[in-house]
Structure 1
Amino acid sequence: MLGVEAALVAVATAVGAVLNARGVGLHADAAPLYATWQPHAGWGTPAAVLVAGGVIGLGVRWARTARWVPLLGVAWLASTAWTLSLALVDGWSAGLTERLTPQAEYLHEVPGTTDIPAMLAGFTGRILDFQPDSWSTHTAGHPPGALLVFVGLDRIGLGGGTAAALACVLVGATVTVSVPVALRALGASGAARAVLPFLVLLPGAVWVGASADGIFAGVVAAGLALLAVRGRVAPAVGGLLLGFALHLSYGFVLVGLLALAVLVLRPADRIAALCAGLAGVAAVVAAFGLAGFRWWDGYQRVVERYYQGWAADRPYGYWVWANLAALVLSAGPVLGPALCRAVTAAVAVARSVPTGPRGPARRRFAVPAVAGRAGGPTVLLPVAAAVVVLAADLSGLSKAEVERIWLPFVGWLLIAAAHLPPATRRWWLAGQAATALAVSHLVWTVS
Structure 2
Amino acid sequence: MADRPGGITFAVVRLLPQRPGIQSARADLIAFVVAVAGTAVAAVAGALLNDAGVPLHADAAPLFGFWLPRIGPGTPLAVATAGVVIAWGPPLAARLPWSSLLAAGYLAALCWTFSLALIDGWQDGIAGRLTDWTEYLHDVPRVTDIGAMLGSFTEHILAGRPDSWTVHVSGHPPGVLLCYVWLDRIGLGGGAWAAVVTVLVGTLAVVAVPVTVRALAGATAARAVVPFAVLFPGAVWAGVSADWMFAGIVATGVALLAVASVRTGPDAWATAVFAGVLLGFGLFVNYGLVLMFPLVCVVLLRTRGIRAVLLASVGTAGVVAAFALHGFWWLDGYHLVIQRYQQGDFAQRPYSYWVGGNLAALLISAGPLAAVAVRRAVLDRGAAAWLVLAAAVAVLAADVSGLSKAEVERIWLPFAVWFAVGAALLPARHHRWWLAGQALTALAVNHLIATNW
> C-alpha distance in 1, partners of 2:102/2:36?
32
How far is the alpha carbon of 1:441 from its aligned partner?
A: 0.2
What is the CA-CA distance between 1:58 and the residue it aligns to? 0.6
Alignment of 1:296-445 (within 5 A): 296-346=331-381, 376-445=382-451
Q: Which amino acid aligns with 2:189?
A: G
**Per-residue deviation at 1:4?**
0.8
Match of 2:79 in 1: 49
Contact 1:88 1:96 in 2 (8 A): yes
Equivalent AA in structure 2 for residue 416 of structure 1: G
- Is residue 251 from structure 1 mapped to residue 288 from structure 2 by the alignment? yes
Contact 2:109/2:231 (8 A) holds in 1: yes
Q: Which residue of 2 aligns with 1:281?
A: 316
Matches within 5 A, 1:143-222: 143-222=173-252
Q: Secondary structure at the match of 1:282?
A: helix
Matched with 1:6 is: 36
In 1, Cα distance between equivalents of 2:125 and 2:111? 14
Deviation string 1:239-285 (CA, Å, 9 cap, x unpaired) is 0000000001111111122111112222x6x1211110100110000
Query: Which residue is equivalent to 2:61?
Result: 31
- Give deviations 1:405-433, integer Å, cap 9, x for gaps: 11001122221221111111100000100
1:230-249 alignment, distance < 5 Å: 230=263, 231-249=268-286
2: CA distance between counterparts of 1:439 and 1:312? 26
Q: Find the partner of 1:265 among 302, 314, 320.
A: 302
Say whether 1:128 aligns with 2:134: no
Which one is further off, 73-82 or 251-260? Answer: 251-260
Equivalent residue number for residue 10 of structure 2: none
RMSD: 0.9
CA offset at residue 387 of structure 1? 0.5
1:290 to partner: Cα distance: 0.3
State how 1:15-94 maps to structure 2 within 5 Å.
15-94=45-124
Separation of aligned partners in 2, 1:154 and 1:390: 37
Structure-1 separation of matches of 2:396 and 2:138: 32
* 8 Å Cα contact 2:205-2:248 kept in structure 1: yes
Distance 1:52 1:316, change over 3 A: same
Cα distance in 1 for residues equivalent to 2:68 and 2:191: 23
1:37 and 1:43 map into 2 onto residues whose CA distance is 19
| Cα separation, 1, equivalents of 2:412 and 2:217 | 26
The residue that corresponds to 2:139 in the other structure is 109
Measured in 2, the distance between the counterparts of 1:414 and 1:44 equals 24
2:216–2:384: 8 Å Cα contact kept in structure 1? no
Answer whether contact 1:223 1:238 (CA < 8 A) is retained: yes
SS in structure 1 of the partner of residue 66 of structure 2? strand
SS at match of 1:123: helix
Residue type of the partner of 1:326? A
Counterpart-to-counterpart distance in 2, 1:421 and 1:187: 16
Residue 310 (structure 1) shift: 2.8
Q: Which amino acid aligns with 1:238?
A: A
* Residue identity matched to 2:223: R
Q: Aligned equivalents of 1:206 and 1:114: distance in 2?
A: 34
Letter in 1 for 2:342: Y
SS at match of 2:343: coil
What's the offset of the Cα at 1:187?
Answer: 4.1
Ranges in structure 2 where 5+ consecutive residues have no aligned partner: 1-30
**Contact conserved, 1:335 with 1:417, CA < 8 A, in 2?**
no
2:217–2:384 contact (8 Å) kept in structure 1: no
- Equivalent in the alignment of 1:358: none
Task: Give the distance between the partners of 2:96 and 2:135, measured in 1 at CA.
Answer: 41
Distance, in Å, in 2 between the alignment partners of 1:421 and 1:258 is 24
One of 330, 340, 351 as aligned partner of 1:295: 330
Partner-residue secondary structure (3-state), 1:120: helix
Q: Please give the alpha-carbon distance, in whole angstroms, between the structure 1 residues aligned to 2:217 and 2:420.
A: 17
Deviant stretches of 4+, over 2 Å: none
**For residues 217 and 48 of structure 2, what CA distance do their matches in structure 1 show?**
49
- Per the normalisation by structure 1, the TM-score is 0.92
Deviation string 1:115-152 (CA, Å, 9 cap, x unpaired) is 11110000011100001111100000000001011111
1:185 is displaced (CA, Å) by: 1.8
Number of matched residues?
416
State the Cα deviation string for residues 59-90 of structure 1 (Å, max 9, x = none): 11000010000110010000000000000001
**Identical columns (%):** 56
Q: What letter is aligned with 2:350?
A: P
Normalised TM-score (structure 2):
0.91
More deviation in 74-83 or 5-14? Answer: 5-14
Check whether the contact 2:105–2:226 (CA below 8 A) recurs between aligned residues.
Answer: yes
Q: Name the CA distance, whole Å, in 2 between partners of 1:256 and 1:187.
A: 19
Q: Deviations over 1:77-120 (max 9, x none)?
A: 00000000000001111000111111100000001111111100
In the other structure, the counterpart of 1:95 is: 125
Instruction: Find the aligned partners of 2:211 and 2:99 in 1 and give their Cα distance.
Output: 10
Gaps of 5+ in 1: 347-375
